[in-house]
């Protein structure tokens, strides 16, 4: 995976407001691990339809952090999970891991 997360979208949205930027980051820091955990629980129990719903929710945050190819991977993975096909799991996890690590340093 060559893409790395960035704050371009969040900074554009904040329009110079550090308060808003920090508020949004704090919410994402709280929400993302919960969504990630729920996804993994559903995936590991092979509840692929529910896992697809989790991927759907995570897609927004993947897009927010500037992933373009990664966003498409999430779209494809969501559709595949609906068909009980988990083949994009490893690729998808690389994106989640990248975001998880990024959230630790911002």
Partner 1 sequence: MNCIIIDDEETARVIIQQLCSQVEELSVIEEFPNAIQAIKFLNKEKVDLIFLDIHMPDFTGFDFIQTLKNPPKIILTTSDKNFALEAFEYECIVDYLVKPITLPRFLKAIQKAESTPDINPASTTQDQSENETAGISSGENDLYINIDRRLIKIDMSTILVIEAKGDYILIKTEKQNYTVHSTLKKIEEKLPNDLFLKVHRSYIINIKKIIDIEDNSVLIEKDVIPVSRSNRSELMKRLNLL
Give the separation between CA 95 and CA 93, rounded to whole angstroms: 5
Asked if residue 86 binds partner 1 (CB under 8 A), the reply is no
Q: Which is nearer to partner 1, 32 or 43 (CB)?
A: 32
Asked if residue 82 binds partner 1 (CB under 8 A), the reply is no
Asked if residue 93 binds partner 1 (CB under 8 A), the reply is no
Sequence-ordered list of residues with C-beta below 8 angstroms from that of 46, at least 6 positions apart, any chain: none
b/e for 45-74, b at 16 or more Cβ within 10 A?
A: eeebebbbbbbeebbebbebbbbeebbebb
Asked if residue 96 binds partner 1 (CB under 8 A), the reply is no
Asked if residue 16 binds partner 1 (CB under 8 A), the reply is no
Within 17-76, the residues that bind partner 1 by CB under 8 A are 20, 23-24, 27-28, 31, 53, 56-57, 59-61, 63-64
């Amino acid at each position: 995976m060559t893409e790395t997360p960035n704050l371009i979208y969040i900074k554009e949205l904040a329009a110079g407001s550090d308060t808003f930027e920090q508020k949004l980051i704090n919410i994402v820091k709280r929400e993302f691990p919960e969504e990630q955990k729920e996804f993994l629980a559903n995936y590991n129990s092979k509840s692929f339809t529910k896992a697809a719903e989790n991927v759907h929710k995570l897609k927004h945050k993947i897009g927010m952090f500037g992933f373009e190819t990664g966003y498409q991977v999430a779209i494809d993975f969501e559709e595949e999970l609906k068909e009980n096909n988990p083949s994009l799991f490893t690729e998808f996890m690389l994106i989640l891991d990248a975001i998880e690590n990024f959230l630790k340093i911002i």
